[in-house]
Amino acid sequence: MALIFADGYTGAESLATLFAQQEKARANVEALRNRPDVTSAQRNAALGEREDAQFAYENAVAIAEVAIKSQPGDRAHAIVIGVGRYNDPSIPTVTTSVRGAWAFTEWLLTEYTHPNRPLGSVELLLSATNDPGDYMPSPSAALRIGVATGSTLPGEAATFGNIQVAYTRWLERARQHSQNAALFYFSGHGLWKNKPYPLPEDAQIASNTQPFARLINIADTVIDQATYQPGLQCYFVDACQTLPTQLLENTTAEPGTVLNQPNNGAWVERDVHLYYGSRPGRAAYGPADAPPFFTQELLECLRKRGAQTNPIGGKWIVSTASLREALGAAANRRSVQEKVKLQFLDKSENVGLSNELCHLSEMPEVFVRLFCYPPHTFADAHLFVEPTGAPRTERAPSAPNEWYTLVPYGPCLAGATFAPPPAWSCPTANFTPTPPMMPVLLTLDPVVAAGDGGTQ
Amino acid sequence: MSTIANNSITVRCIGVPENLRGATLPIDLVSENGVVTATTLHVYESGSTTFDVEESGKYSVRTQLPDGRWLVSTSLVDGNEKVATLSFNAAEPASKLTEEHFNTNWRSNYQSRTPRSFGLRDFDHRMMSSSLSYRLRPILTVDTLFDPMANGLLVIHFAVCESKKDSSWLLRSPKINDSLESYLAEIPGTFAESDVHTGANGDTRDWYPMIGLALWAGSYYLFCWPPSRQPSLTFAPDLNAPGDNGPGERLLVSASHHSSKSTALFDYMRRGALDQARRITPDWLQTSESLLAGKVNDPMSAILGAYVLLRLGNREKENWMLNLASWFKRLPDGAIIYGWSRLKAGDAKMAAQWFHTALRRGLPMYTEGVRLLSEGLAYLHRLLPEDEAIAEAAQQAYRIFASANMDSECTCLLVATGGYSKIEITEQGIVYTP
């Protein structure tokens, strides 16, 4: 288990501290295992320390979980999985995914905001690469989980077995209240064969000598827990959905395994959303020294770019639907920046329950999509958007036939100019952008030369 | 489009494509300071609807079409009558430009392309996901990038799907003694207007889907054609699907439907815009398609609506879904929908029965049905791993699912390509073994 945070358990009761001590004791035992200079007494002492540390952590977790079940009020419970290293030599290591898991955990601990549904627990599984290594919480995150600033927190290995156990416990915590939120985040490699299959650390890719093993069938996992609360269940999967030849040619109908088993009860009312960082057959992308692009955009949307159209009670709220729309715009905008085709995807089953995900932690920003009429003028138009009191943003000349840009929430003007002699003129459009995405149409007028009846 | 009087906005629609006429769309009225009023709009050519707004000032009127594109117009609410046009022709307004400034040739060219080439302009503007296009850019009616002769889309005469005992299906065709190649007949460019659907005659309770075999880009596809009072079918290249030789190798199939309301509702759901679908569902529930008489008259519209209700978790219409499944005994999709309804109610045994019934009835007409059948049986198999009948059905459904282009509205299965084939010509017809 790798429960690093439970609401109300900080300071001396910090689960993260106890978990770190357990992992340190475990590492110590491993380090002494094959050293000839270590006596059996020293080994036994190390084993004893490990057992004590393990007992202390597991005992604290057990107490915390009982407390969570009896807690009044709703909570958000999260499980974060980052996989950078793989046992199968055919799967390359990847660093961006580890940084993605770090970033999502940071957001949960320091920025996640919902007045009626505070953060309840965070479970972290991390198969880190040497770079960036174990999770190093920011000072505010360290304070939240009760570890010393600057310390690192080793993650429990993100193997299929560990993920399955952690997933079951996470779901158990989350299902205690119908209005809880269950948040799942995965970042690592992935495959696709009619369904997406995220790969845990010990995933095995089929070859001439071995079958597929330990691929996570996340789509069916979500279906299988249809009889479980809570009402809001969000899955963020930042992984490729490419279809490699081995999988294409493999006759296995179902290469993956679900994380839990279904039961024959009536399905509960729930708002279930799966947000993917790629589309079927496509790759997800990310820089080696930062979180993947989808995670970056996701977190920006959760912070400030994914609000619903209207504030409620003066608060800007991110809903599952507004996040979906914001991510669509974010993918378009980021694709131009990164010069790579980013395609995010979402799947949902909605039964009309409360679908509030979180509140914005910063002032809202809004995606603005400009298009022109007549459409063929778009290519030559120098488009711009100018928020009041802020610098003008202009479309890059090589941008495709749609332009997404970002503006702070507030009055803006937009327009288009043309190289001289201009064939078109564009009245400036004044508007207040509405989150998460505002389509703005610029209607152009042809410039009519004196004495001319009209030009095309 | 919007006119103004006494702090109200009158939205008038022009250039509405045929398949949107009568539909209900979610519409936003956005004030100058960014406050949004969300409502719905009934779309009729030149039809007007008036909405009250609280404040005067400049308003942006916008709606997102079922294919994801936006229509936007602005209106000044100041007590004076003032008109701004919201045109559906190309997601941009047919503004004064076309009326006042363009020369005749340009205008006539523009107008000639609008009524039936809605999708073509979509693609030109690249404002939408091609594979989820509300109006697909049809292969057979396009004269620029996809010449039907050059691209060789060939379609057989349609067949009836009969379930066999060995988990295969027989596609029975009138020309059973011909070779596969002679089954294929080039369809003229007016195919979209064809009325060769033989399953849509007489009492709707006897209606059945037709199965076709298409040869496209070197691969054979089986596709489903749902029965309808005005049957027409559109093929399009799937530009979003990667292929060995570039995009567009796979095929998308879309059918026209009698009810634009149901089609729009279904398309919002397919695109994942459940919030938009939810906004217009109450209106749909008040219309004839959701009533018993309406269902008997137009089963396809009822099925499309039922798919949406199922996804939105609406459990108030369970008996209606049962009726849909049992009334139309030759349509698999009703059985799939009701099977899922039972599954959600925790009645695995009954769900399994209805899924078996669906498989006996033939290929699901819609890709949504292919997905639901496979996922439902897979769920039951995980729930009841000892049940051999469910295991076998789950495998069969999965194989169909694995062959399907999930972006196609109607079921479209890749059944033969390169060195492998799931179809065989026999004396009785074409045998399809998933």
> What's the pLDDT band for B373 if we cut at 50, 70, 90?
very high
The SS3 call for residue A266 is: coil
Lowest mean pLDDT among A170-174, A358-362, B36-40: B36-40
> Chain A window 398-417: which residues touch B at a Cβ cutoff of 8 Å?
400-402, 409
Chain B contact for A21, CB < 8 A?
no
Nearest chain B residue to A224 by CA: give it. Answer: B379
Residue B94 has a pLDDT of 30
Q: Does A116 touch chain B (CB under 8 A)?
A: no
B394, closest residue in chain A (CA to CA):
A253
- Per the CB < 8 A criterion, the answer to whether A86 and A93 are in contact is yes
Mean pLDDT score across all residues of chain A: 90
CA distance B102 to chain A (A): 6
Amino acid at A202: D
Closest CA to A107 of A84, A73, A138, A70: A138
B188: its two tokens: 């003229």
Q: Give the 3-state secondary structure percentages of chain A, helix then strand then coil, rounded to 5.
A: 30, 25, 45
Q: Which residue has the higher pLDDT, A401 or A122?
A: A122
Whether residue B172 is predicted with pLDDT greater than 60 in this model: the reply is yes
CB contact (8 A) between residue A443 and residue B97: yes
Q: What is the dihedral of CA A316, A317, A322, A326, to 10 degrees?
A: 60
Cβ contact, residue pair A444, B97, below 8 Å: yes
Contact A181, A220 (CB under 8 A): no
Q: Which residue has the tokens 């100041």?
A: B78
Query: What are the start-end ranges of the E strands in B146-227?
Result: 154-156, 160-163, 169-172, 184-186, 210-216, 219-225
* Alpha-helical segments (H) within A33-124: 40-70, 96-110
Q: Is the separation of the CB atoms in A17 and A75 below 8 Å?
A: no
Report the pLDDT value the prediction gives residue A199, as an integer from 0 to 100. Answer: 97
Instruction: Average the pLDDT over A88-117 and give the result.
Output: 96
Out of B70, B274, B344, whose CB is closest to A267?
B344
pLDDT given at position B79: 58
Place of tokens 């009568």: B22
Number of continuous H segments (helices) and E segments (strands) in chain B: 14, 20
pLDDT for res B115: 28
- pLDDT tens digit string along B278-319? 899 888 888 877 777 788 888 999 999 999 999 888 888 899
Give the span between the Cα atoms of A294 and A287, in whole angstroms: 11
Q: What's the pLDDT at A59?
A: 93
Q: Do B311 and A431 touch (CB under 8 A)?
A: no
Cβ burial, residue A88 (10 Å; 0-12/13-18/19+):
middle
Top residue of B33, B104, B275 to mutate, by most chain A CBs within 10 Å, is: B275
What pLDDT does B159 receive? 63
pLDDT above 50: residue B179: no
**Measured between CB atoms, which of B31, B126, B348 is closest to A401?**
B126
CB contact under 8 A, A280 and B90: no
- Provide the pLDDT for residue B345: 93
Which residue from A minimizes the CA distance to B35?
A: A310
B383/A430 touch (CB, cutoff 8 Å), yes or no: no
Choose the weakest-confidence range: A330-334, B204-208, B313-317.
B313-317
User: What distance in Å separates the CA atoms of residue A41 and residue A313, rounded to the nearest whole number?
Assistant: 65
The minimum CA-CA distance between B183 and chain A, rounded to whole Å, is: 30
Q: Does the beta carbon of A254 lie under 8 angstroms from any beta carbon of chain B?
A: yes
Categorize the per-residue pLDDT at B141 as very low, low, confident or very high, splitting at 50, 70 and 90.
very low
Closest in A310, A348, A402 to B127, CB measured:
A402
Alpha carbon distance A149, A139 (integer Å)? 5
**Per-residue pLDDT averaged across B11-37, rounded?**
85
CB-CB contact of B240 with B107 (8 Å): no
- Measured between beta carbons, the chain B residues lying within 8 angstroms of A263 are 383
Give the separation between CA B198 and CA B207, rounded to whole angstroms: 9
Please check whether residue A405 is in contact with residue A421, taking contact to mean a CB–CB distance below 8 angstroms: no
pLDDT for res B173: 55
For residue A73 the two structure tokens come to: 């009020």
Look at residues B405, B340, B421 and name the one whose alpha carbon lies nearest to residue B366: B405
Nearest to A330 by CA among A300, A356, A355: A300
pLDDT tens-digit series, residues B322-351: 999 999 999 999 999 999 999 999 999 999
Tell me the chain A residues in contact with residue B375 when contact means C-beta distances shorter than 8 Å: 220, 223
Strand pairing class (A437-443; A365-373): parallel
At B370, list the tokens: 């292919």
| Alpha helices (H) in A213-317, listed in sequence order | 218-224, 245-249, 293-300
Rounded to the nearest angstrom, the minimum Cα separation between B251 and chain A is 16
- Whole-model pTM: value is 0.87
Task: For residue range A398-449, list pLDDT tens digits in order.
Answer: 555 678 999 999 999 999 999 888 889 988 988 999 999 999 888 888 887 6
Nearest Cα residue to B339 out of B302, B374, B388, B363 = B374
Chain B contact for A73, CB < 8 A? no
CB contact under 8 A, A269 and B313: yes
Size of interface A-B (CB pairs under 8 A): 133
Question: Looking at the partner chain, which of A262, A267, A400 has a beta carbon nearest the beta carbon of B383?
Answer: A262
